[in-house]
Amino acid sequence: MSKFKKSSNKETPPISTASLPDIVFMLLFFFMVSTTMRQQDLKIKVHVPAAVQIQKLEKKSLVSYIYVGSPTKKYQKMFGTEPRIQLNDAFATTSDIRDYITSEREARDENEVPFMTTSLKVDEYTKMGIVTDIKQQLRKCNALKINYSTRKSSSE
Amino acid sequence: MARQKLGGFNASSMADIAFLLLIFFLVTTTMDTDSGISRKLPPMPEKNQQKSSDRIKERNVFVVLINKNNQLLVEGEPMDVSQLKDKAKEFIENPANNPKLPEKKITEIDNKYFGSQYPVSKGVISLQNDRGTSYGTYIKVQDELASAYNELRDELSMRTFSKKYGDLSDSKKDLIKKIYPQRISEAEPKNVGGGK
């Protein structure tokens, strides 16, 4: 009687997997686009402090990084546990910062230089002495835009 | 020559290849967006420059000292970091025109929202830290001071535009910045409270 009688002899067809590659490709492209490869391996431990009032760093190509923290286990034998500065891939001292900034500037276009920012990635437990030295060095080579790298604080 | 007809190419391994790539990118991805507190360092004083003669009056300066044990001394009183924001807000705003808190300077702003003149606080926050202060504390203090300014800006923008400061257009942001300029000055490095 009913119009919608189930045809009893039909089995449920298997799920078509033909669209699976498409889905996977979509995911793949998403991750490919959003990936930023880690540029350098850190020889020091950096756990940046948390803060609420943070701004996003824009124009990543114009940012140069200075890392400060105590060396990781592998390097502790050689360099001890005192916080140290890392520029690019090597340990450095405050006097190297000048050269670093100069080389970073040379790698950029001339008219972009005023917009260059220096991001300080400093470990929470570092003493301010070393940070003050870095800041003085940066002032000397006129790299005045800085950014103290922080995590987003969980408690708003 | 008999040309063999090409069979349809088997795409079933495509998914596997794609999966492999996907997993590779999943593993190598770091999606950290860099963020932090932006500051501008003052330029190095020139050697032959005279010490600036226009000394700032004491009532216009809000002195924050941090010693090597990460303790705060705000305007001569020891204080906890959690109280700093309210104290700083009170200092900047000076709602009751207290003679101990900073003066206000009538500034020409000239726009339709605030009238042509607005009393802008002359207050400056001076932050000094010791070489032994931990970076974490320093950032916390910087953060608190920045949020003092931002809360004041937010309040003003809520009052006049009934919008949060962050959602305003750039020209309106500039207006509010003029009324609450962020003046945090850091002293030339010196030792506060001894210690290396």
Q: What is the pLDDT of residues B70-95, one digit of tens each?
A: 888 888 888 888 888 888 888 887 77
Q: Which pLDDT value is given to residue B196?
A: 41
pLDDT beneath 50, residues of chain A: 156
Interface residue B131 vs chain A (CB under 8 A)? yes
At B124-154, the pLDDT tens digits run 888 888 888 888 888 888 888 888 888 888 8
Assigned domain for B35 exists: no
Q: How far is CA A95 from CA A64, A127, A130, B17, in A?
A: 16, 18, 12, 49
Assigned domain for B86 exists: yes
Backbone angles phi, psi at A104, to 5 degrees: -65, -40
Confidence of residue B1 (pLDDT cuts 50, 70, 90): low
Interface residue B2 vs chain A (CB under 8 A)? no
Assigned domain for B43 exists: no
- Residues of chain B found within 8 Å of residue A115, distances taken between Cβ atoms: none
Question: Is the pTM of the predicted complex or chain greater than 0.90?
Answer: no
Task: Please determine, for residue B97, whether its predicted confidence score (pLDDT) is greater than 80.
Answer: no
Interface residue B23 vs chain A (CB under 8 A)? no
Confidence of residue B194 (pLDDT cuts 50, 70, 90): very low
Rounded distance between C-alpha atoms, residue A35 and residue B33, angstroms = 11
Q: Which pLDDT value is given to residue B33?
A: 67
Rounded distance between C-alpha atoms, residue B116 and residue B124, angstroms = 24
Q: Which pLDDT value is given to residue A121?
A: 85
Assigned domain for B129 exists: yes
User: In angstroms, what separates the C-alpha of B151 from chain A's closest C-alpha?
Assistant: 10
Please state, rounded to an integer, the average pLDDT across all residues of chain A.
Answer: 79
Interface residue B50 vs chain A (CB under 8 A)? no
Nearest Cβ partner of A148 from B14, B44, B139?
A: B139
Mapping DSSP to helix (H, G, I), strand (E, B) and coil, where does residue A100 land? helix
Question: Mind listing the domains of chain A with CATH numbers?
Answer: 50-152 (3.30.420.270)
User: In angstroms, what separates the C-alpha of A7 from chain B's closest C-alpha?
Assistant: 32
Got the DSSP string for A107-150? Answer: HS-GGGGGG-EEEEEE-TT-BHHHHHHHHHHHHHTT--EEEEE-
Confidence of residue B195 (pLDDT cuts 50, 70, 90): very low
Assigned domain for B20 exists: no
**Comparing B36-40, B124-128, B192-196, which segment has the lowest mean pLDDT?**
B192-196
Percentage of chain A modeled with pLDDT above 90: 0
Q: Which pLDDT value is given to residue A5?
A: 61
Assigned domain for B140 exists: yes
User: In angstroms, what separates the C-alpha of A155 from chain B's closest C-alpha?
Assistant: 13
According to DSSP, the β-strands at A145-149 and B35-40 are: antiparallel
Give me the domain span that covers residue B169. 58-186
Mutation target among A24, A34, A122 for the B interface, most CBs of B within 10 A: A24
Q: Which pLDDT value is given to residue A8?
A: 58
Q: Which pLDDT value is given to residue B32?
A: 63
Asked if ipTM goes beyond 0.85, one says: no
Rounded distance between C-alpha atoms, residue B107 and residue A19, angstroms = 66
Assigned domain for B157 exists: yes
A52 DSSP assignment: S
User: In angstroms, what separates the C-alpha of A140 from chain B's closest C-alpha?
Assistant: 6
- Residues of chain B found within 8 Å of residue A27, distances taken between Cβ atoms: 22
All residues at 6 or more sequence positions from A95 whose CB lies less than 8 Å from its CB, including other chains = A137
Counting the structural domains of chain B, the total is 1
